[in-house]
Amino acid sequence: MPALNETFSKADRAPFGTYIAYRQLENMFSRNNIKNEKRAFDKTWNDISDTASLYVCITPGLYLNEDEKKAMLDYVYAGNSLFIAASYIDEALLKEIGCNENYYPIPYYDFYDSMRITKTILQEPSFSYYYLPFKNSFYFKDSVFTKVLGVNEKQQANFILFFHGKGKLILHCDPRAFSNYFLLKQDNYKYMQTAFGYTGSYPDHLYWDDYYRKLSSRRSRNSNSDDGGFSTFGAIMKYPPLAAAFWLSILLLALYILFGGKRRQRIVDKTKSNENTSVTFTETIGRLYLQKKDNKNIAEKMTTYFNEHVRNNYFLNTNVINDEFITTLSRKSGVEKNRVESLYRAISHVHNNAVVDDYQLLSLNEQIQHFYKK
């Protein structure tokens, strides 16, 4: 599918250039040398005094100031023909001729459309193509000075002729009808031949616009998003109903955030995490034993926990304490053999004596702690 790069440049051979249209104009008006105009229309009109010339402007959009609009109408009034094909035509110009345009800047993706030239006597065939359809159209109240030349598939006027003074203002609201892509499709080149047949007699001079095409491209680049696509926000803001719906949506979203974001249930009290009181409990029990001077009981509990440690970590039977046990425990734990022997002599003393004094208790504790550190 062709890319949406609508340059409408006479030098562009891409799908939406006008290389074919420009060459076809050269063939249709072979006696004329086409003059490429790169100035605003009021500057061009000041330098010419034509009364039977043709000015062709194919551009994405036609944006005019007051002087340019007046110059175009004066040019037509003098007896010249002005042919404009643009997706957007300046509203001030349309208002002067009592016309309005239904403009659709957002693409429609049914990818097929057709249009035809309307004649009072001969019904022309439709010229179709496979791409974004022709949705733009004109509507007007006064049909005395305005004539419908072509319609789209929905029978809406998209090509009109307005008689002004001695000349003709010819408007087409879809420049893609003069693009390379459209004209190279089957016999669509005949559409252009028929369309320019309405410009009248052979013109004295032929002008091709390069000013408004470039102006429209610059405006499009400035208004488009960074990735080069359509400016969605700009398209929404262009139409009051869409703009109103957009701002209403923003307002409703803000109200939802303001009121819907509030807490809907009571604050849950922060629960204090459980503390590990095992160490505190052990220290408290130890102080109680010390205060009661029950050294014997403390020492026995210490030896019991120590033997449990030996069984769980070194997988040794602590019921029989002999030289083989001492040697194996020393090898597995990395504690010197003489220290292991001294430790178990202290343990044996605790079991065999009814009284354990403070010095013996402290000595036993130091030996056990030294073993644990290894």
Based on the number of CB atoms within 10 Å of its own CB, is 24 exposed (0-12), middle (13-18) or buried (19 or more)? middle
Give the predicted TM-score (pTM) of the model: 0.57
Specify the pLDDT at position 116.
55
Same-domain check for residues 213 and 283: no
Which residues are 148's β-sheet partners? 160
Amino acid identity of residue 41, one-letter, is F
Tokens of 139: 């509507």
Same-domain check for residues 241 and 315: no
Could you tell me which residue, 325 or 133, shows the higher pLDDT?
325
Specify the pLDDT at position 372.
86
pLDDT digits (tens, 9 = 90+) for 120-137: 333 456 676 666 666 788
SS3 210: coil
Same-domain check for residues 237 and 292: no
Tokens of 169: 């203002």
Give the C-alpha separation, 109 to 159, whole Å: 22
Specify the pLDDT at position 232.
62
pLDDT digits (tens, 9 = 90+) for 183-211: 998 888 999 999 999 998 889 999 999 99
Based on the number of CB atoms within 10 Å of its own CB, is 43 exposed (0-12), middle (13-18) or buried (19 or more)? middle
Q: Are strands 157-164 and 146-152 parallel, antiparallel or unpaired?
A: antiparallel
* Size (the chain), residues: 374
Q: Which H/E stretch holds residue 342?
A: helix 337-352
Same-domain check for residues 64 and 190: yes
| pLDDT of 108 above 70 | no
How far the first Cα of the chain sits from its last, in Å, is: 79
pLDDT digits (tens, 9 = 90+) for 48-97: 888 899 999 999 999 999 999 999 999 999 999 999 999 999 999 999 99
Q: For position 199, which CATH number holds?
A: 3.40.50
CA within 13 Å, CB half, 305:
11
Based on the number of CB atoms within 10 Å of its own CB, is 333 exposed (0-12), middle (13-18) or buried (19 or more)? middle
Indicate whether 128 belongs to any domain: yes
What's the count of helices (H) and strands (E) in the chain, helices before strands? 14, 11
Question: Which distant-in-sequence residues (6+ apart) come within 8 Å of 33 by Cβ?
Answer: 206
* Domain range enclosing 335: 278-373
Specify the pLDDT at position 320.
87
Same-domain check for residues 50 and 114: yes
Domain count, the chain: 2
Domain edge (last residue) among 250, 266, 298: 250
Q: What is the mean pLDDT of residues 159-166?
A: 94
Confidence bin at 302 (pLDDT 50/70/90)? confident
Tokens of 78: 């003098």
